[in-house]
Structure 1
């Protein structure tokens, strides 16, 4: 019996236009509430962006944001993991010296932060994913906040070197991962969507195989590995296809909703 559902957003729950069938989901969500099935939104994106997709439902949903670093419920933080202040400063100094073409968003609990000098292209791109986003004259002006992730943008041909340099310079202190197209995330080692969802399941007394999980990208692997009821979307990475036990239809065909209707019936 399914007692919890965890969904990635981009490429999984959302279609290519960043939308979902809200009317269809309404019926599914009401069934989940009636059956006491927990609904978890698990994404690399910012909490404030994620909750905007579920107006009037946000207090009934658990949000695992920033690839597992932050867990929110009822607008409150249930659990958080962050870098030390010293490591944040060391990383910023390293990034400044690494490449003059590198751009960065520093992701905190209260807000995300970027430089006023960032390119307009990067500002517009970042605004899609960070609804709480402040522009600073310098990262020396970072407000009092805990930092949970760094999101980088570099020329595509520089990305492999930047990832390798970061992981070598800060071995065991950070994990740098490329998500393609010159995008790089610096995350906390050992903190993933999977580890955070396992923590939630433990709190709720739910067994891993009572979870249904849906994903399409490699930051979903640990989450999908938790349960036999794991679903790779039709358009997914080879690693996701190898890890998930089942396959869902395309995100452009409301694949998650199709599967949930069957699981909850």
Structure 2
């Protein structure tokens, strides 16, 4: 078991048989706890700065609950994305501290071991229909240790809504822009701020939006400088990328 390996390594270090650098290196290579249907990576936090995240889509409620319970038992913060209330009820029966955000489709069980980054992330959504993806980004960014500012429904169809909040956006260290339809909001925001902009295309839109492909291509072809683009509907990925940037404030 993982606990036995860690105990042996700690004893070897205390006895002077292993140097600290070697201990840290070996800790980074301990990969998994085998549950049969999943291999839980307990040491991802050492390599990447945040524990393994459970992608709920396609997993049974029992599988999600089992993985979550093992992460929590190891003292890790638990984040489940793309999930639902039925799964939450299964998880909360084992982990009563679990919190469910129905809009974001996330479950969080905080262990308090993630240090604040000291950074601020602004999450903008073009429209109300983009909120599930925007909330996924906001919840993830907050759990990963960032201060989060939500600025929703500021799409280009009513651009005055954005212009009235530009100073608020400029206070952030990283800006996540979530937009469907034609995806123009990211270009407009990047032209107004001197911060990294992470663009998230969503699958929201009429037929010619091709399930988010139109917004994705618009964002990839933006003439505004300083934009990075993640995959369609990938609010989690945007928040994870934003966190790698805000962590640099502590370096």
Same fold (TM over 0.5): no
Structure with higher Rg: it is 2
Q: Which structure is higher in strand share?
A: 1
Which structure has more helix as a fraction of its residues? 2
Normalization by structure 1: what TM-score? 0.31
RCO comparison, higher one (Cα < 8 Å, 6+): 1
